[in-house]
Structure 1
Amino acid sequence: MMQSRLKELSKTIFKLTAAASISTVVMTGTASAQAMPGKGVEVTPIFPTIAEERFRGEIAIAGLEALGYEVEEPKETAYATMMLALSYGDADFSVHAWEQLHKTFYKKAGGDDTLVKAGNVIPGVLQGYLIDKKTADKYNITQLTDLKKPEIAKLFDADNDGKADLTGCNPGWGCELVIDHHLEAYGLEKTVNHNRGSYFALMADTITRYNEGQSILYYTWVPQWIAGVLVENEDVVWLEVPKTDLPDGNNSVNTSFNGKNLGFAVDQIQSILNKDFAEENPAATKFLSLVQISASDESAQNLKMQNGEKSVKDIKRHAQEWIAEHQASYDSWLAAARIAK
């Protein structure tokens, strides 16, 4: 009788232990799945060919990998092609879309039917025209349209053709279309040349001319390392435009900064995802909707690149350093992504 009861008790203990073990395995598996919701999912990023814009992409990649996603080496291409690749599913996400500047690219690629704007990665992005402060003060130049005067335009003539040389924007970036439109809209085509090509090579020459004491005229955007070399209100000043006049006719957008109309929309850089990928991967979508860095942080990182820390290995290290400095925010983005549905 006693042996029979002991056998029954042993069976009961075994069943309870087995059940507890199975429960533990299930709970552990569930916790692991929650911590790594992207496990087994391959992700293809797509970036522009501008090395200085990879930094924010590496921050996004690090977060997706922390969520378990297998992130492939980023594709690189021009902005319009980038939008098409995202729309067609040849890539899954980017953190490099300018809301206003690239609006036409977004619409032509399919817009909201095939793409998702997840969040604002860098708010408060500026674009505009600058000249050296010394020339601005000496000749009282404050407006872009001051360059309609031949005697003013000649101050910025680098190739002795009698016209001002404006260091402009690469074909395919989008900003070159705005600059060309401005030159026509403000009546500057007869006195200003828009110099296009390799922007950073052209800017290196522009900075050299500035250091030699020559007058300079150039287009730029912030965030970017140039703002750390040619410092606003110390080395250079923004030029105003007489009125907002943009190629798409949407002239109601905000184009002013510190009381000056810069002529370009005050923009924000957004994370863009392929729509199918976004719907199938709520964790990735949530994380990319929350990732945000300041314009000043990206400018500071870009200056490190200009000073020699420009390899992909360097940029990845910069991203990890930024994450460590913003760990609380970064961890909160991951936590929100892990419970996204």
Structure 2
Amino acid sequence: MKPYLLGLSAMAFAGSMTSAFSADVTMPDPNYATATAVMNVIKAAAEQELGLQISTVTTTAVPVIWEAMDRNKGEVDIWPDTWLPNQQGLVDKYVKDKKSVKLAQNSYEAQQGYCVTEVTYDKFGIKNVSDLANPDNAKIFDRDGDGKGNIWIGAPGWQSTNIEKVRARDYGFADFFNLEATDEAISNATLDTAAKQDKPWVGYCYGPHQNFARYKLKFLEEPAYDAAKFVVVQANEDPQWFEKSKISSAYAKTTVHIAYASSLADRQPDLVAALERMQFKPDDVSKWAYSIIVDKKSADEVAKDWIKANPETVSKWFGH
């Protein structure tokens, strides 16, 4: 994500749904730029082409989003930021087993892992994830003087954040670092300071993302993906998820999909047909996020500008 979230409690999320029920369709806004951008493109296109009223609810709780889609009551109808393999457990439960949620057929490729700033890579020689398992190397990333490094592992509640807790343990560097699970905006500010001051920085990275256009970042090398070494137990499925998960390889090939409540096909068949045709380009998603974060444009403005500049693409989505 990402994006995988947990910023609002289920109760707070449910409370925010009251106004959403009056709309034709409801989508969640996870409040990070890439997903917010895609959500706004879908929203603006559907409103323009189908005349729908689409409401949004702000939440960073991915399991709660899936539970809402599962109920098929219009609380959440579309989730446009389904990262696989990160959300595979949720897909298995709701798409494959319960069949209460569907995945649109198209997706776009993404990348995730650990990133460092250029100076970290070139000057300090941190090039492989194994380099983090050295306590002397870890001290390079010490920002608060406690003798331990600082590494951002994702936002609270992201599925990937739980994965990164396990990977830190199994890669052998957890004891040498403060594992920071904070809002992405905090991490971005820390990265910005480090990049401008040519200081070391390391953290979980995913792309498409605006940071690859803003800074010179490099992914750390990792052991190639191995299914036998990438065993994830979902936190919402087993209280011993951390102990039972075993992860010591890179992520599998990562793709991002649109998920939608199964009942939407009956309530809004033209919209579902469009969701099945939609195909996003990683470069476009990065540019949208850059416009939101760096150029300070509203996500709605960014979406409508792109739609205006790409009428043929939008027309194909809606079968015109």
* TM-score in terms of structure 1 length: 0.74
Q: CA contact under 8 A between 1:47 and 1:96: conserved in structure 2?
A: no
Q: CA contact under 8 A between 2:115 and 2:204: conserved in structure 1?
A: yes
1:88 aligns with 2:71: yes
Q: CA contact under 8 A between 2:83 and 2:255: conserved in structure 1?
A: yes
Tell me which residue corresponds to 1:255.
none
Helix, strand or coil: the match of 1:168?
Answer: strand
CA distance in 1, matches of 2:231, 2:178: 19
Alignment RMSD: 2.4
| TM-fit CA distance, 1:115 | 0.6
Q: CA contact under 8 A between 1:127 and 1:262: conserved in structure 2?
A: no
Tell me which residue corresponds to 2:306.
322
CA distance in 2, matches of 1:236, 1:58: 28
Q: Equivalences for 1:182-221 in 2 at 5 Å? A: 182-221=167-206
Helix, strand or coil: the match of 1:172?
Answer: coil
Q: CA contact under 8 A between 2:209 and 2:289: conserved in structure 1?
A: yes
| TM-fit CA distance, 1:331 | 0.9
CA distance in 1, matches of 2:140, 2:77: 48
| TM-fit CA distance, 1:173 | 1.1
Helix, strand or coil: the match of 2:123?
Answer: helix
Distance 1:141 1:209, change over 3 A: closer
Q: Equivalences for 1:242-281 in 2 at 5 Å? A: 242-244=223-225, 245-248=229-232, 263-281=250-268
Greater radius of gyration (CA):
1
Q: CA contact under 8 A between 1:52 and 1:305: conserved in structure 2?
A: no
Tell me which residue corresponds to 1:292.
279
Q: Deviations over 1:138-183 (max 9, x none)?
A: 3433211111122211111112222221122112111111111111
Q: Equivalences for 1:116-127 in 2 at 5 Å? A: 116-121=102-107, 123-127=108-112
CA distance in 2, matches of 1:283, 1:155: 54
CA distance in 2, matches of 1:58, 1:247: 34
Helix, strand or coil: the match of 1:190?
Answer: helix
Question: Which of these residues, 40, 43, 56, is aligned with residue 58 of structure 1?
Answer: 40
CA distance in 2, matches of 1:265, 1:142: 20
CA distance in 2, matches of 1:215, 1:74: 38
CA distance in 2, matches of 1:262, 1:298: 27
Q: CA contact under 8 A between 1:168 and 1:196: conserved in structure 2?
A: yes
- Residue 331 of structure 1 aligns with an amino acid whose one-letter code is S
> Identity across aligned pairs (percent)?
21
* TM-score in terms of structure 2 length: 0.79
Distance 1:131 1:195, change over 3 A: same
CA distance in 2, matches of 1:264, 1:168: 14
CA distance in 2, matches of 1:262, 1:62: 39
Distance 1:115 1:225, change over 3 A: same
Q: CA contact under 8 A between 1:132 and 1:217: conserved in structure 2?
A: yes
